[in-house]
Amino acid sequence: MGLLSSSLLFSLYVVVFVLAALGCFGSLTRLQRISDVDTRHGMLALLLTSGGWATTHVGFLVSPTKQLKLGWYVLGLIFGLAAVGAWLYFCSAYTNRTYHRNPRYRRLAVGVFVVLVAVKVTNPLHHGYFTATTLATPFSHLSVSTGPLHWTAMGLSYALAFVGYFMLLELFTVIDLNTRPLMLLVGITGLPVTMNLIGYTTPALIDITYEPLGVAVFAVGVMFVYLDRFEAVQLATEQDSPIISLDADNHIRDTNRAARRFFPEITTAGGEPLESTLPSVAECLESENELLEIYHDGEIRYFRLTETQYGTVKRGLGSTLTLTDVTEREQYQKELERQNDRLNRFANLISHDMRNPLNVAQGRFELVREDLESDDDNVAAIERAHTRMETLIDEILTLARDGQQVEQWDAVRLSTIATDCWEMVDTGDAEIIITSDLTFKANPDRVKRLFENLFRNAIDHGGSDVAITVGALDGPAGFYVADDGPGIPESERINVFDPGYTTSDTSTGFGLAIVSEIATAHGWTIRITDSSAGGAQFEIVDVELVK
């Protein structure tokens, strides 16, 4: 800066603040592209006050007399204070809050504004806000020395401005969009504070407020460069979870747009008791059931209600209620319950209405069997038919029951359960090799049937001397059962889990269907690949491991 002449430096200051004013006023031409009315009004106020603020800086710099400079300076103080209110209005509207519409906050804001403006305007009477002297460096300008009232007002202004920053940054950090450019623009609005400090503590910059520069960059960046992203973020916010803010007396203090969409009985003013305005929400809040059922747009939607307290336990300041849409999960759960009911009825039908006639047939056959020749082929055929029917009933019953959602979980060790199941199967000369181990969550009874059916399937198709390998998968969380048998052709793998599908004359075709149902009931995925020995390898993935 020392290499620049005073006139050139003076011109640079003037040009910079002129550009800031033009940036703010020029951005007004793009306002109609902001779809939300409240956000548009907030941005309008912010651009007008910041542009006016920058203009007063130009007037302060170029005015020829001290009195004119002081007049522009005081006008700049008023514009700067108004810009804080406009900033808060904009931040509240853009983040879908209703603070800017609350009459109590509006009255409070107007009251504070009037009082501070009166303090600024009457400074010649009390001189508690500022005093002014003329300095010659780095160029001839009016230097303002601030008093205690200035620091009080500035502290309040920065505290309020920080509230707006918090609302924006909170939105940008939780929204599922790329908000880095917008966060950068918001951060730029705070950089002039550093310039203010440099101007106050060193002669490197003149002691003047530089905030209009940051707002101008923010305005131009939003309105001319990132307007689409600016709109997308707000649109995504509108689709977020409904949020209701309560005060310490459980009165509604604030809501977002999603909450007002689902609860039209909420007014924008706020202040209503939760119990009388939203009794269903209040009842859900006091009960142990976190699930709230809402009828909206001709359909029932389900929300999980959570409460976040402010302040301390002894002295609460209020709370925030967040309603998370869990409609799809609840609908899926209810559909599972309906399926389970149907499966139970189907299982009862098999147990009673099919097994009873079979028992009658078996009993009558025993009565007439004495009159038949022992080597009669019809006797053997009837016995095989009865046995097959009983096996089919048992396996269909198992298929129906094992397809129900798993509700009881325990920690299961792979090596232990595989060894136990191996002992329950007629393995002949087959052998089992456990290559690695893991512990996972499962229903032990159902997993036993899964392993037993996989072992029987390997022996049925690989022969009595088949070698079966069990181990943990290297990549995804899960385990496998492999054999060195003939394998399963890739064209048949899509069908082997279908009930009744079999390539064996002695198999019912339900073994692998039961395996698939057990895996699905656990939330697992089962797939078939080629084993390293050339046989079939069944891989069960998406397993929850226990460490």
The answer on pLDDT for 274 being more than 60 is yes
Question: What are the two backbone dihedrals, phi and then psi, of residue 136, each rounded to the nearest 5 degrees?
Answer: -100, -15
Q: What is the DSSP letter of 292?
A: E
Question: What is the band of 411 on the pLDDT scale with cuts at 50, 70, 90?
Answer: very high
Lowest mean pLDDT across 217-226, 303-312, 515-524: 303-312
Alpha-carbon distance 347 to 57, whole Å?
84
Question: What is the band of 113 on the pLDDT scale with cuts at 50, 70, 90?
Answer: very high
What's this model's pTM, rounded to 2 decimal places?
0.51
Question: What is the band of 276 on the pLDDT scale with cuts at 50, 70, 90?
Answer: confident
The answer on pLDDT for 314 being more than 70 is no
Question: What is the band of 2 on the pLDDT scale with cuts at 50, 70, 90?
Answer: very low
pLDDT tens across 144-189, in order? 777 888 888 888 988 998 998 888 888 888 775 677 888 888 888 8
| Mean pLDDT for all residues in the chain | 83
Lowest mean pLDDT across 82-86, 111-115, 186-190, 331-335: 331-335
Lowest mean pLDDT across 88-97, 113-122, 227-236, 449-458: 227-236
**Mean pLDDT along residues 84-98:** 91
**pLDDT on residue 43:** 94
Alpha-carbon distance 529 to 178, whole Å?
40
Region of 287 on the Ramachandran plot (φ > 0 left; ψ -120 to 50 alpha; else beta): beta
| 334 Cβ neighbours under 8 A, 6+ residues apart | none
**Mean pLDDT along residues 478-499:** 90
pLDDT tens across 193-233, in order? 888 788 778 877 887 888 899 988 998 898 888 887 787 67
Question: What is the band of 19 on the pLDDT scale with cuts at 50, 70, 90?
Answer: very high
**Mean pLDDT along residues 26-55:** 92
Question: What is the band of 1 on the pLDDT scale with cuts at 50, 70, 90?
Answer: very low
Only one residue has tokens 């203009």, namely 55
Residue 50's alpha-carbon distances to 37, 84, 164, in angstroms, are 20, 9, 16
Region of 529 on the Ramachandran plot (φ > 0 left; ψ -120 to 50 alpha; else beta): beta
Residue 293's SS3 state is strand
**pLDDT on residue 352:** 60
**pLDDT on residue 405:** 64
CA-based nearest residue to 400, from 332, 431, 369, 354: 354
Residue 323's SS3 state is strand
